[in-house]
Structures are given as C-alpha cells and as structure tokens.
C-alpha cells in the first residue's frame, strides 16, 4: 500500500480552498486525516479560531515528526495512529479533512474509514475529502452519508477533486 497519494504536496491555493470548503474558520475541534508534510495543516491552523484544536492523524513516523518540528502551534496535536481512531482520541469533531489516498486502499478499508468518519462527526458537521480520481469515493459517500457535493480544483498539480459530505 502506498503512503503518499500524490506526486506533489497540495498547493497553498488548494489547501486554502479545502479549509474554506470545510468551514475551518468556525470549527473548534477538527481532525485532519493524512496530514503528510502539512500544507493543509497550515491552512487549517491559519483559518481556525484561537481556541481551536486540530488533530493531525499521520501514521508515517517521519512525516509526523516533521509536522511537530515545523508547526509548533499549541492548537495542533499530531497523532501517529489510524484515522479510524478519531472518535476515541478526539471525541466528536466539528469537521474532518481527509487527504488519504483512497484509490490505493482496499474497498473494505475505505468503507471502514468513511464509517469511522461518520461516527466521529457531530450531527450536521462536514467532512471534505481530497482526491484525484472521480470514480473511487462516490459509491461509498452515497452509501454512508446519503449524498455528497463535488468541486473541481484545476489549479493544483495534479488537478484535484474535493468531495464534501455532512454527518447524519
């Protein structure tokens, strides 16, 4: 299984678009799945309120250590565990941003992770998922969340798709 889902980190513009799409400016308790080198993490922290808490889930030890060193923000907690542990670790959250490479995952893992996302969100809270393929997530999103919104972001390399769902 691959641990990096793109050939380049997310651009600053894409990271800001994700932060806006998930409503980070009004979210107090946020989980980020697959934080990687931190471009989306930076955008979330820039947008979140001063009393916010960002839980950055990153299972790659080197990337997690890099995040801790590069972003010494007291609102940030880097978690070296599976994103499926969000509810246990962070409680119910106001929003989730996921940059996990679902197109590389077995279908069962994708289903389990998205189910964990649904369980971890407060009712009505959003989850935004960054992807590069249009065909992988829609069946799961419809099954687990009922519906989704999709936006195309062409100003990234590679161009990106953003899927937004809301917890039931």
Whole-number mean pLDDT of the chain? 95
Distance CA 44, CA 27 (A): 10
Q: What is the pLDDT of residue 7?
A: 55
Instruction: Give the pLDDT confidence of 67-101 residue by residue, as tens digits.
Output: 999 999 999 999 999 999 999 999 999 999 999 99
Q: Where are the domains of the chain?
A: 12-166
Given a cut of 50, is residue 19 above it in pLDDT? yes
Q: Model confidence at 3, in pLDDT bands (50, 70, 90)?
A: very low
Over the range 67-102, which residues count as b (16 or more CB within 10 Å of their CB) and which as e?
bbeebeeebbebbeeebbebeeebeebbbbbbbbbb
Given a cut of 60, is residue 134 above it in pLDDT? yes
For residues 143-166, give the mean pLDDT.
96
Handedness of CA 95, 90, 79, 28 (dihedral sign): positive
**pTM (two decimals):** 0.95
Class of the CATH domain delimited by 12-166: alpha beta
First to last CA, the chain: 31
């Amino acid at each position: 299984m691959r641990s990096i889902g793109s050939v380049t980190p997310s651009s600053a513009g894409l990271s800001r678009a994700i932060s806006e799409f998930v409503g980070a400016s009004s979210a107090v308790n946020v989980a980020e799945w697959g934080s990687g080198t931190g471009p989306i993490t930076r955008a979330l922290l820039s947008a979140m309120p001063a009393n916010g808490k960002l839980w950055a889930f990153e299972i790659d030890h080197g990337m997690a250590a890099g995040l801790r060193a590069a972003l010494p923000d007291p609102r940030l907690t880097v978690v070296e565990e599976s994103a499926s542990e969000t509810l246990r670790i962070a409680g119910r959250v106001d929003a989730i941003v996921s940059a996990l490479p679902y197109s590389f995952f077995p279908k069962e893992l994708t289903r389990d992770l998205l189910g964990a996302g649904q369980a971890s969100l407060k009712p009505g809270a959003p989850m935004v998922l960054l992807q590069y393929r249009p065909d992988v997530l829609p069946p799961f999103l419809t099954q687990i969340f009922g519906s989704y919104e999709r936006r195309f972001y062409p100003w990234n390399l590679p161009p990106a798709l953003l899927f937004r769902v809301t917890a039931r």
